[in-house]
Amino acid sequence: MKDLHNESENTSVWRNLIEELRPAVSIFILLTLVTGALYPAGITAIAQAVFPEQANGSLIERDGKVVGSSLIGQSFSDARYLWSRPSATAPQPYNALASSGSNLGPLNPALAETVAARIETQRKANPTQTGPVPQELVTASASGLDPHISPAAAHWQVPRIASARGLPAERVAAIIDAETERPTFGLFGQARVNVLRVNLALDDLK
């Protein structure tokens, strides 16, 4: 009789435990479906319907081929092109999988050496410019992916680009002005120039 009583008690304990766990398991499964499947699928569908370009990475195509994204910068070193802001991502510049800055403090000798080397490079590439080199052309952004530079930094490079392409400086400056993005709604952010778009526009010149 004692064994039967113990077995009955054990069965009752397990039954109570299952009854207590059932709501928790049910909620877990429900939330997994909602947050892991239904919500992502719904947001993806809305994004594809309302903002398809942004949802697909804001890709830029030429002749049916993807040449980049308007949201991620690229490195340019040819004198005929507008140069981007330096990138500190590893193992290569503008690596979207390793977005970060250099994390070097303003008193770090390595940062001073890096900036000095970049200034020297800019001076050699732009010998007609005697004024200060724009700061953003010698310092990396916090993300390391910045696709834009300021209009001032873009126009600072006009003499080099015009000379390399055999174009009037006014023609190059006009392209930069045409590709300058204004503050959103005229209020948010600052005027900026997308480097890749300008360089594609330069290549489109006949």
Q: What is the pLDDT of residue 8?
A: 62
Q: 150: which residues sit within 8 A by CB, 6+ positions away?
A: 134, 136, 190, 191, 192, 193
Q: What is the pLDDT of residue 29?
A: 92
Q: What is the pLDDT of residue 193?
A: 95
Q: How many CA atoms, within 13 angstroms, populate the side-chain half-sphere of residue 192?
A: 18
Q: What is the pLDDT of residue 84?
A: 95
Q: How many CA atoms, within 13 angstroms, populate the side-chain half-sphere of residue 34?
A: 6
Q: 91: which residues sit within 8 A by CB, 6+ positions away?
A: 98
- Whether the CA torsion 20, 21, 22, 24 is positive or negative: it is positive
Q: Is 149 helix (H, G, I), strand (E, B) or coil?
A: strand
- Whether the CA torsion 187, 145, 149, 176 is positive or negative: it is negative
Cβ proximity of 181 and 192 under 8 Å: yes
Q: What is the pLDDT of residue 19?
A: 80
Cβ proximity of 198 and 82 under 8 Å: yes
167: tokens are 């174009």
β-bridge mates for residue 72, sequence order: 69
Q: What is the pLDDT of residue 10?
A: 65
State the pTM of this model.
0.76
Q: What is the pLDDT of residue 3?
A: 55
Cβ proximity of 82 and 157 under 8 Å: yes
DSSP state of 72: B
Q: How does pLDDT run along the chain (206 residues), one tens digit per residue? A: 555 455 566 677 677 777 888 888 889 899 999 998 889 898 988 988 887 777 777 888 888 888 888 888 899 999 999 999 999 887 888 888 888 878 888 888 988 999 999 999 999 999 999 889 999 999 988 888 899 999 999 999 999 999 999 999 999 999 999 999 988 877 788 899 999 999 999 999 86
Cβ proximity of 166 and 146 under 8 Å: no
